[in-house]
Chain A
Amino acid sequence: MLGFVIRRVLQMVPMLAAIALLIFVLFSVIPGSFATGQQDEGLGLDMAVVARMRAELGLDDPLYVRFGAYVKQLATLDLGLSFRSRQPVADMIAARLWPSLMLTIAAMGFAIVVGVPLGFIAALRPGSLVDLGLMVIAVSGLSLPKFWLGILLMYLFALTLGWFPSFGYGSGGLYHLTLPALALGVSPMALLARTTRAAVLDIMNADFVRTARSKGMNEYRVVVWHVLRNALVLVLTTIGLQFGSLLGQGVVVEKLFAWPGVGSLLVDSVFQRDIPAVQGCILVITLFFLVINTSVDIAYKLIDPRIRYT
Chain B
Amino acid sequence: MKLRANLAIGGGLTLLSLFVGVFGPWLAHTHPIMDANLMNAELPPSGEFWFGTDQQGRDIFSRVMYGAQISLTVGIGSQLINTAIGTTLGVTAGYWGGWWDDFVNGLTNLMLAIPSLIFALAIMAILGPGLTSLMIALGLTNWSYTCRISRAQALAIKSQGYVQAARVLGYGDMRIMFTQILPNTLGPIIVIATLGMGGSILAEAALSFLGLGVRPPSPSWGSMLSDARETITTAPWLSLFPGLAIFLTVLGLNLLGDGLRDVLDPQSRSRR
Contact = CB atoms under 8 A, between A and B. Distances in A.
B125 A30 contact: yes
B143 interface: no
B83 interface: no
Interface string A95-139: 000000000000000000000000000000011000010000001
Interface string A243-267: 0110111011001100000000011
A266 to B, nearest CB: 7
Interface stretch (B74-82, B112-120, B148-156, B181-189): B112-120
B217 interface: no
Contacts of B271: 198
A23 B206 contact: no
Interface in A257-283: 266-267, 270-271, 273, 278, 282
Contacts of A147: 205-206, 209, 222, 225
A163 interface: no
A15 B110 contact: yes
Given A145-B247, A148-B225, A286 B114 contact: yes
B8 interface: no
A249 B229 CA distance: 19
B211 A271 contact: yes
A151 interface: yes
Interface stretch (A46-54, A64-72, A73-81, A152-160): A152-160
Interface of B: 2, 106, 109-110, 113-118, 121-126, 128, 198, 202, 205-206, 209-212, 222, 225, 228-229, 232-233, 236, 239, 243, 246-247, 250-251, 253-255, 258, 269-272
7 contacts: A139-B255, A140-B247, A145-B247, A151-B225, A245-B116, A251-B117, A270-B125
Interface of A: 15, 18-19, 22-23, 26-27, 29-32, 126-127, 132, 139-140, 142-148, 151-152, 154-155, 159, 194-195, 198-199, 202, 244-245, 247-249, 251-252, 255-256, 266-267, 270-271, 273, 278, 282, 285-286, 289-290, 293
